[in-house]
Amino acid sequence: MLAVLAALAVIATARADEYTWPEREIKFKRSDEAIPAAVARLDPMPKYVAVIAPGRGLLIRRWPDWPPGKVLSEQQEALLARRFSDAVVQASEGLRLYAVSEEDARRMATAVIEASDERNRRRFGAYVEHLHRQQSLIPDAEKTIAEGEPELKTITSRLEELRRVGYFRNRAEAEKIAADLGTLLNQIDIEIAGREAEVKVLTAKFGEPSIRVTESMREMHLEIEVDLAGALVRKKKAQDARARALEYVALSVRRSLLRTELEKAQSTLTAEAREKIAQQILELERGLAHPNEHMRPVVVRDNTVFIHPVIPLATTRPGSGAAAPKAE
């Protein structure tokens, strides 16, 4: 276990983004060796065939989803649409891509290789990302505890303070009080609107020369203003009380989430968890140091695709259509 933890300390200094996808350039070479067509009759008849050797692990899509992002001639599109299985053939020497022109053959081969490489590159990237997550587990857990424990203490203290002044003992009671105060505030708003309307009417009457302002009218105006002021005070108190109740609810939710985060972080920092993380990182490091064929560019012999002329199947002599020559 100590050896594994020591290895973790070293590996933790490595960055997952140090692993990069290798770049390469695919070359094309013409070959004079003719390869027979897949069948005796094709319309349109292919004139060239691109051979990708050895042809393993290539991503082949059905037409029209294939080839991605490549522009083919109308004749080539027609060939793929009508006779796909006779235009894309897995042979002993590699994958044969039959085409009506040399340019179409090149584009098809490029599309197959690029699509296959992109699929493997995504697998490689996911593997690197998994390593990055594993490497971040312990530092993230330590950060969560360092920041979360003081926050939890502050929240707990504030909740105790709100309980003393808020007439509630728990989150459920705080939620009920907040709802009741919301209803009360709606009622107070209606009362305030009515009183303000009454004040407006009386004030307008006081301004009319034809109306004699009596003492009773003045007393009524004063009573309404007193009621309005009282309603505004009650509204402010209800708003403050409701704000405290809502704060209590929000802090209770945050405290619950924070406790869960801290428990998870603490479990990550146990000796057993550290050892498991260290082992996983070591395995991921080994996998990236020696990636399998599904996490590296597909094998193309000498990074070269050969373009051959095509001869009709009916004129083919026995033994013709040999394997593509190796790149020099």
Q: How many Å from the N-terminal Cα to the C-terminal Cα in the chain?
A: 51
* pLDDT, tens only, 40-82: 777 788 999 999 999 888 988 766 565 555 678 889 988 888 8
Angle between helices 2-11 and 271-289 (to 10 degrees): 60
Q: Are 326 and 49 in contact (CB under 8 A)?
A: no
Cα Rg, the chain, nearest whole Å:
39
pLDDT average, residue stretch 267-279 = 97
- The whole-number pLDDT of residue 314 equals 61
Least confident of 68-72, 233-237, 295-299: 68-72
Beta-carbon contacts of residue 33 (< 8 Å; ≥ 6 apart): 308, 322, 324, 325
Question: Can you list the alpha helix ranges (DSSP code H) found in the chain?
Answer: 2-11, 74-87, 102-166, 171-206, 215-268, 271-289
pLDDT at 327 over 70: no
Kindly indicate the confidence band of residue 321, based on its pLDDT and cuts at 50, 70 and 90.
Answer: very low
Mean residue pLDDT of the chain comes to: 86
8 Å CB contact between 50 and 307: yes
Q: How large is the average pLDDT for residues 96-125?
A: 93
Report the pLDDT averaged over residues 77-95. 90
SS3 of 83, please? helix
Q: Which two tokens stand for residue 173?
A: 């009671």
The predicted structure's pLDDT at residue 13: 42
Q: Which domains does the chain have, with CATH numbers?
A: 15-133+281-315 (no CATH), 145-279 (1.10.287)
Q: Give 319 or 78, the one with higher predicted confidence.
A: 78
pLDDT band at 269 (very low <50, low <70, confident <90, very high): very high
Query: According to the model, what pLDDT value does residue 12 have?
Result: 42
Joined together, the tokens standing for residue 59 give 């991503």
Compute the average pLDDT of residues 139-156. 98
Confidence of residue 212 (pLDDT cuts 50, 70, 90): low
Q: What is the pLDDT of residue 65?
A: 60
106, pLDDT greater than 60: yes
Tell me what pLDDT residue 166 has: 82
Candidate ranges 17-21, 76-80, 265-269; pick with highest mean pLDDT: 265-269
Percent of the chain's residues with pLDDT above 70 = 85
- Taking phi first (over 0 means left), then psi (-120 to 50 degrees means alpha), and beta for anything else, what does residue 69 get? left
**Spatial CA neighbour of 301 closest among 82, 55, 15, 8:** 55
Mean pLDDT of 31-47: 88
